[in-house]
Amino acid sequence: MEYKLIVSDMDGTLLGDNHKITKENKIALSKALKKGVKIVPASGRIYNSAREHFDFLDINTPLIACNGAIIKETKTNKLIYNGLVSMTVKLW
């Protein structure tokens, strides 16, 4: 199977216990990029907090932040989406 896109959570997935992206994940993402796979990080964090971890990629990838409420390109900061994620909560 040939992958075209990797969307991955950050905390507890791409980031290690020290809250930094692990060496192994850096290598894996770099290899995927060389094969033409698109990388899209996703996080519940605010955009600036999430973005600081992906400068090493040196690509303009979308980054999903604030649990999906904001999507921006990482190099240009171009806003792709900004909105509330609507949720209906039924208590009983």
Burial class of residue 75 in the structure, from the number of CB atoms within 10 Å of its CB (0-12 exposed, 13-18 middle, 19+ buried): middle
In the set 9, 11, 55, 58, the catalytic residue is 9
Sign of the C-alpha dihedral computed for residues 31, 34, 36 and 42 taken in this order: positive
At 50 the three-state DSSP class reads: helix
Active-site annotation holds for 9: yes
Query: Across-strand partners of 26?
Result: none
Q: Any idea what DSSP says for residue 66?
A: G
Could you list the active site residues? 9
